Structure 1
Amino acid sequence: MPFADQAEIGGFAVGEEPSAEQLAQRYRSLVEHTPDAICVHESGTIVYVNPAMVRLLGARSADHLLGLSITIFVHPDSVGAMLDRIDKLTAEGSASPPADMDLLRVDGRVVPVQTVSVLTVWQGEPAYQVVVHDLTAQRVAEASAQRAEAYFTTVVSQLQEGVLVVDRRGRLEAINPAGERILGIDDAGPVLGRRFDDLPLTMIDSDGRPLPPGEHPMAHTLATGEAVTNFIFGVERVDGHRVWVSCSCRLLNPDSPDSSGVSSFADITEYRASKRQLEFQATHDALTGLANRSLILSQLSSALADDGGTLVTTVLFIDLDGFKAINDTLGHAIGDTVLRIVAQRLQQALRSEDLVGRLGGDEFLVLLAGHPQRADLPALVERLRVTMAEPIIASGHRLEVSASVGITELGPHEHRTPEAVLHDADLAMYRDKPAAHRELGLGQNRRSNNTHAS
Structure 2
Amino acid sequence: MGEANTDAASAEQLAQRYRSLVEHTPDAICVHEAGTVVFVNPAMVRLLGARSADDLLGMPIVRFVDPDSIPAMLERIDQLTAEGAASPPTEMDLVRIDGRTVPVQTVSVLTAWQDKLAYQVVVHDLTAQRAAEASARRAEAHFTTVVSQLEEGVLVIDPRGRLESINPAGKRILGIDDATPVIGRRVDELPVTLIDRNGQPLPTDRHPMAHTLATGEAVTQYIFGVEHADGTQVWLSCNCRLLNPDSPDSSGVSSFADITEFRASRRQLEYQATHDALTGLANRSLILSQLSAALADEDGSLVTTVLFIDLDGFKAINDTLGHAIGDTVLQIVAQRLQRALRAEDLVGRLGGDEFLVLLAGHPQRADLPGLIERLRTTMAEPIIARGHRLEVSASIGVTELGPHEHRTPEAVLHDADLAMYRDKPSGHRDLGLGQNRRSNNTHAS
Q: TM-score, normalised by structure 2?
A: 0.93
Q: Shift of residue 197 of structure 1?
A: 2.6
Q: Distance in 2 between matches of 1:309 and 1:362?
A: 28
Q: Shift of residue 314 of structure 1?
A: 0.3
Give the corresponding residue for 1:190.
Answer: 181
Q: Distance in 1 between matches of 2:412 and 2:427?
A: 26
Structure 2 counterparts to residues 291-302 of structure 1, below 5 A: 291-302=282-293
**Contact 2:163 2:186 (C-alpha < 8 Å) held by counterparts:** yes
Aligned mate of 1:421, from 403, 406, 412 = 412
**Contact 1:183 1:237 (C-alpha < 8 Å) held by counterparts:** yes
Aligned mate of 2:347, from 356, 364, 370 = 356
Code of the aligned partner of 2:385: A
Give the corresponding residue for 2:160.
Answer: 169
Q: Distance in 2 between matches of 1:388 and 1:38?
A: 106
Give the corresponding residue for 1:150.
Answer: 141
Q: Shift of residue 113 of structure 1?
A: 0.4
Give the corresponding residue for 2:3.
Answer: none
Other structure's SS at 2:357 match: strand
Q: Distance in 2 between matches of 1:239 and 1:127?
A: 74
Structure 2 counterparts to residues 11-90 of structure 1, below 5 A: 19-90=10-81
**Contact 1:41 1:48 (C-alpha < 8 Å) held by counterparts:** yes
Q: Distance in 1 between matches of 2:278 and 2:9?
A: 108
Give the corresponding residue for 1:4.
Answer: none
Alignment CA distance shift 1:391-1:210 (3 Å)? same
Q: Distance in 2 between matches of 1:193 and 1:220?
A: 20
Aligned mate of 1:103, from 82, 85, 94 = 94
Other structure's SS at 2:37 match: strand
Q: Distance in 1 between matches of 2:423 and 2:15?
A: 124
Q: Distance in 2 between matches of 1:157 and 1:68?
A: 53
Q: Deviations over 1:79-101 (max 9, x none)?
A: 12212222222222211111111
Other structure's SS at 1:326 match: helix
Instruction: Could you tell me which runs of 5 or more consecutive residues in structure 2 were left unpaired when the two chains were aligned.
Output: 1-5, 430-437
Counting matched residue pairs gives: 432
Give the corresponding residue for 2:392.
Answer: 401
Are residue 236 (structure 1) and residue 227 (structure 2) matched?
yes
**Contact 1:321 1:437 (C-alpha < 8 Å) held by counterparts:** no
Are residue 451 (structure 1) and residue 442 (structure 2) matched?
yes
Other structure's SS at 2:303 match: coil
Other structure's SS at 1:164 match: strand
**Contact 1:424 1:448 (C-alpha < 8 Å) held by counterparts:** no
Q: Deviations over 1:269-310 (max 9, x none)?
A: 111111111111111101011001111111101111113331
Alignment CA distance shift 1:333-1:17 (3 Å)? farther
Q: Shift of residue 216 of structure 1?
A: 1.1
Give the corresponding residue for 1:8.
Answer: none
Alignment CA distance shift 1:234-1:84 (3 Å)? same
Q: Shift of residue 319 of structure 1?
A: 1.0
Code of the aligned partner of 1:162: G
Q: Distance in 2 between matches of 1:187 and 1:385?
A: 62
Give the corresponding residue for 2:434.
Answer: none
Code of the aligned partner of 1:340: Q
**Contact 2:196 2:225 (C-alpha < 8 Å) held by counterparts:** yes
Code of the aligned partner of 1:429: M
Other structure's SS at 1:313 match: strand
Instruction: Could you tell me which runs of 5 or more consecutive residues in structure 1 were left unpaired when the two chains were aligned.
Output: 1-14, 439-446
Code of the aligned partner of 2:56: L
Are residue 286 (structure 1) and residue 302 (structure 2) matched?
no
Give the corresponding residue for 1:366.
Answer: 357
Give the corresponding residue for 1:122.
Answer: 113
Code of the aligned partner of 2:287: I
**Contact 2:300 2:401 (C-alpha < 8 Å) held by counterparts:** no
Alignment CA distance shift 1:296-1:17 (3 Å)? farther
Q: Distance in 1 between matches of 2:101 and 2:338?
A: 85
Q: Shift of residue 135 of structure 1?
A: 0.4
Q: Distance in 2 between matches of 1:89 and 1:334?
A: 107
Aligned mate of 1:341, from 332, 339, 343 = 332
Root-mean-square deviation (CA), in Å? 1.9
Percent of matched pairs sharing the same residue: 83
**Contact 1:293 1:357 (C-alpha < 8 Å) held by counterparts:** yes
Q: Distance in 2 between matches of 1:251 and 1:122?
A: 56
Give the corresponding residue for 1:226.
Answer: 217
Alignment CA distance shift 1:51-1:420 (3 Å)? same
Alignment CA distance shift 1:436-1:381 (3 Å)? closer
Q: Shift of residue 27 of structure 1?
A: 2.3
Q: Distance in 2 between matches of 1:164 and 1:184?
A: 14
Are residue 94 (structure 1) and residue 85 (structure 2) matched?
yes
Other structure's SS at 2:155 match: strand
**Contact 1:318 1:404 (C-alpha < 8 Å) held by counterparts:** yes
Aligned mate of 2:302, from 305, 311, 320 = 311
Q: Distance in 1 between matches of 2:141 and 2:393?
A: 75
Give the corresponding residue for 1:321.
Answer: 312
**Contact 1:222 1:261 (C-alpha < 8 Å) held by counterparts:** yes
Other structure's SS at 2:144 match: helix
Q: Distance in 1 between matches of 2:178 and 2:22?
A: 62
